[in-house]
Chain A
Amino acid sequence: MKAKGRKGILSRLIKALFFRKRTAKIGIYGPPNAGKTTLANRIIHTFVDENEDMGVSTEVPHETRRAVRRSGIIIDLKSKSMQNPNSILDSKPGRRKAKAKLKLDVVDTPGLATKIDFHEFMAYGLEEEEAKRRAKEATEGVIEAIKWLDDIDGIVLLMDSTKDPYTQTNIVIIGNMEARGTPVIIAANKVDLADAAPQRIINAFPQHPVIPISALKGENMEELYEEMARRFR
């Protein structure tokens, strides 16, 4: 028993030293209310623990005002594709084969915005003082989220499929990621809603992979994970 345990440690060590790339740090970015925390929680629930949350998601924008990092998430595509017979894993010839296992650190970030006005929070029933405090924290959060970019290997840029993708936030962040050479996957979220138009996002940013998903309902998540395994390995 003891020897077996030691062997396990040894083989893990060898694997860690020779077969594993260092953990990729992935940031989930996007405008407020795109569903970043919902996606982060979905990833944790699927691959780590159903009862663990990275953050609280609400309809109030700027709910996440500090970047939250969760280390060592193992994305195991094989086990997930077993559960889903409709998996497209390896089904598309010519595409780079997705690595079956991927170790990630995921950072859920505050929503990127160009203007933060406390009046916006008052519309959700917050008192003026509380709304102002939230606006201040949200502003700090945007700066913190941008600072995190220096330490990140790839980003999942989340967009709301029901909204116009041609926003300053989306364009600036994509342009900057291209300049830095950071890989970007665009997740066109909220496809479960009737007025979702992920095609608009696909047309707007043809230079990047766009995966239509619903983080809330768990739709098409597998394709996103596969793309992550392909891009961020």
Chain B
Amino acid sequence: MHKCLKCGKKFEKLTKEMLRGCPECGGNLFLYIKEGEDISAADLVDRIKIEDKVPLEGERIESLRILSPGVYELNLDALLERKGIIMKIKENGSYAIHLPSLFVKNKQKQKHRWFLK
């Protein structure tokens, strides 16, 4: 059994999609737990508190991920640090860059709204 170290979700089998990241949260660190025979290890893993605060992906550039319709993941760090908004639309590496958010520099930017499609 594979456990995602980011969201804690367990997967019976390793799938192709998981090679690109956890299908649930996009995390890319998994821990293999032996079924049945190694219960103590599994317990140990369960005791690892999965907290959002552990930044496992230092190289994330996108400020927003659209995981599926109606499910969004926000990178608060990137949103707070960067002026522009970069969206990751699909796990295949498609990105969208919201150009107006990069170019607006004056005070008007507070009034500027952008919308998700």
- Interface residues of chain A, those whose CB is within 8 Å of chain B, are 112-119, 128, 131-132, 135-136, 139-140, 142-144, 146-151, 166-169, 171-173, 176
Interface size classification for chain B = 20 to 34
**Measured between alpha carbons, how far is A114 from B52 in the docked complex, in Å?**
8
Interface of A is mostly: helix
Q: Which residues of B contact A136 (CB under 8 A)?
A: 70, 72, 116
> In the complex the two chains form, is A151's CB within 8 Å of B74's CB?
no
B109: CB under 8 A from chain A? yes
Chain A residues whose CB sits within 8 angstroms of the CB of B113 once the complex forms: 140, 144
A151–B80 touching, CB < 8 Å: no
Q: Are A149 and B69 in contact (CB under 8 A)?
A: no
Closest approach, in angstroms, between the C-beta of A163 and any C-beta of chain B? 13
Interface residue? B99 (CB, 8 A)? no
Write out the residue numbers on chain A whose beta carbons fall within 8 Å of the beta carbon of B77. Answer: 172, 176
A140 B80 Cβ-Cβ under 8 A: no
- Separation in Å of the B54 CB from the closest CB of chain A? 9
**CB neighbours of B80 from chain A (8 A):** 146, 149, 172-173, 176
CB contacts under 8 Å to A, within B67-109, are 69-77, 79-81, 85, 107, 109
Interface centre among B52, B85, B112 (most CB of A within 10 A): B52
* Sample of 23 A–B contacts (CB below 8 Å): A113-B74, A114-B73, A114-B74, A114-B76, A115-B73, A115-B74, A117-B72, A135-B71, A135-B72, A139-B64, A140-B115, A143-B74, A143-B114, A146-B79, A146-B80, A150-B109, A151-B107, A169-B76, A172-B80, A173-B76, A176-B77, A176-B80, A176-B81
Flag if A132 contacts B70 (CB, 8 Å). Answer: yes
Q: Can you name the residue of chain A whose Cβ is closest to the Cβ of B117? A: A136
